[in-house]
Amino acid sequence: MSLKERSFEKWENDWIRLRWGDGAPLLRMDFDVCGAVRAATIHATALGVFELRLNGDSVDDIHLPPGWTDYRKRVYVHSFDVSDRIVPGKNVLGALVAPGWFAGFFGPFGDRGYYGHDAWFSCELVLEYEDGTFETIRTSPEWKGALGPISQADLLMGETYDSRKEISGWDTPDFDGSKWKPVSVLREGDERLPESIEPYPGEPIRTIAELPAQSVSEPSPGVFVFDLGQNMVGVARLKIDVPAGTEIVLRHGEMLNDDGSVYTENLRSAKAIDRYIASGGEEIWQPRFTFHGFRYVQVEGLPAGCDPALDTICGVVWMSGLKETASFECSSEKVNRLFSNIQWGFRGNYLDVPTDCPQRDERLGWTGDTQMFIRSATYLADVQSFFKKWLVDLHDAQHPDGGYPDVAPFMGRLGYASAAWADAGIICPYVLWQAYGDTEFIRPWWSQMKNFMALICTDENRHNGPNAQSFGDWLHFNSETPTRLIGLAYRAYDARLMSEMAAAIGEENDRIFFEAEAEKSRDLFRCEFFQGSEIAVKTQTACALAIAMDLLDGEDLEKTKDCLFQGLEEHNVYLTTGFVGTGYLCPALTKAGRCDLAVQLLLNEGHPSWLYEVNNGATTIWERWNSWTEEGGFGDVGMNSFNHYAFGAVCEWMFESLAGIRPASPGFQTLEIVPCFTDRLDYVKASYDSVQGRISNQWKKTSSGWTMELETPVPATVILPNGTSQVEKGRHIFEVPA
């Protein structure tokens, strides 16, 4: 076993912190190396977040390790190979530690220190010498600490940095730290200690891009607003040359007020303010222990008469370091902008956990948003390790009665077993298995998934019982769908997915059971959806769920299709769906044989629609269809994010129907290519880097119909209006008459 593969079942290292002070204190330990080192590995973690230093430099380029978990149950360790960084003689191991999710503000309830009130750091450096002996440098009472330049470090509130208080060389061997203060140690058995310490299974947060400011304005004297041109998540890097003691204030926002200042009312209690106190001369700084969702940065405090250069501000984009796997382009530049908006919403909200929004005082791992978007996410990037980590968070938060939570990692005051939210426990493993062909997304959780199904398949339950309580079709547009109906739809859908997964993992008895349960649940849905022979619930969402989830047959299905078509026509082919219905609407229309209506929804530019947002300057997906309107301005300030990916779930349809790329078997071992040809677009082309290799498909309009070019690494069934073809891997061209 290599040093980096070490088991952490027995963690013998102390948890340390400075005895006083907020912000991010400095911690250090001198040690001597007396022989030739073959290998050196640091294993580090925190109740909070940390940055690790060795001999004057940062050990790695990741941000906010060890990530967010339910710290009472588990905390993760990050391992770093530092073999080439150890020098003969004296060395220094150092760290900065900040509150992060453990002890800082997070969530919509004004909570601070939900898991604990102070940040703690713990690590070990394991040295393997050439003679085969080992030495371990651990966190212990021998470490020393001091207050540094970071006096505030909070994920929601921001970071304050006084560069006059920098301690030069504090993490280098030549520094004399003898007068630093002793650290405090968390005693064994303390209730703040986690039950389990494990290797980090996910993708750490990294810088994925830098966005130079596109313009700067001065809405009022001495107040400068920098526009990055793109709503993003991360931090702003500041470059200044001002007198010592000058305090620069950075305010972050996604939109502008009418007077040109940065709009921050929708952030609620999250201040999202960074402060920098200059030491004089040219200085460059970016925060370490906070992040913001923003397009605009408002800079205040520059000396009178200062005319800041455009490079005063640069956006530094953070995201879990996922390999992006998708491209999409068509003849409509507005649709291309929509795809870009979906990508940026995904990037901004896949930051260690799949959050609902990255800017206000929430940023929670809402399970409903996650399951609604996950199929789109599997096209946009390789999310395997990201979700292996989050599925642990999800099951750590599962209620003893089997109910999956509204958010994961766990946070109190929120519920369990909410229809369309709790179903993430079934849908996410299924979608991941379909995307990557790996049943290890299912096997570890099978018994817990069955516990959830046992709960929701009872007569009386919160999910779909007579008194069902959930968020319903959240943020629908004046078209409410009963929560019980939504719950019954998901109950039947979950049971069908469970039967398929049971077959995949060889659980034959479970396959038979859930196949029968799926039929029983379909009957329950039909009884709720219909009154006799008439449809009782005629919302777009209800009809879309019935069609997309295969909940009806025969005449019932045909009536439901007609109901959906009529419902759209009553609204001039505009949607009324919320979080639950929107992702299913275009797939349901395509399945019902009306791809033309799905295309119309995509291309609509009035309100409400995706392109209405594009036309009004959106660079990410909005939380509400009316987050901003020409008539009413900003929407409900109590809940109005301009970076919320749920409505971006149309991305799934753009790949699987408009471009026609969809798996015919788990892991894209075979394909089904069924493109949605339309004369509303001149061309569509898309590619996806699947686990089998790159799949690309493009079609373009011709004088007589369409030409389609497919590149596939696996056999594919190609279904076109003029017939079906079976093709092997390689390049294939098809001529399709109009």
> Which residues are catalytically annotated?
362, 623
Query: Within 10 Å of residue 34's Cβ, how many Cβ atoms?
Result: 10
- Residue with token string 């599997």: 378
Structure-token pair, residue 463: 């999910």
Q: What is the CA radius of gyration of the chain?
A: 27
Q: Which of 351, 471, 349 is nearest to 405 (CA)?
A: 471
Q: Which of 287, 344, 444, 427 is nearest to 648 (CA)?
A: 344
- Residue with token string 């979080």: 579
What's the farthest any 2 CA atoms get from each other in the chain? 86
Q: Which of 202, 274, 271 is nearest to 238 (CA)?
A: 274
**Torsions phi, psi of 317, nearest 5?**
-85, 125
Q: Are 387 and 353 in contact (CB under 8 A)?
A: no
Q: Are 351 and 344 in contact (CB under 8 A)?
A: no
CA distance 231 to 341: 9
Kind plus residue range of the DSSP H or E element containing 286: none
CA distance 667 to 184: 50
Structure-token pair, residue 154: 């909070």
DSSP 675-715: ----TT-SEEEEEEEETTEEEEEEEEE-SSEEEEEEEESS-
Q: Which of 221, 360, 232, 340 is nearest to 296 (CA)?
A: 232
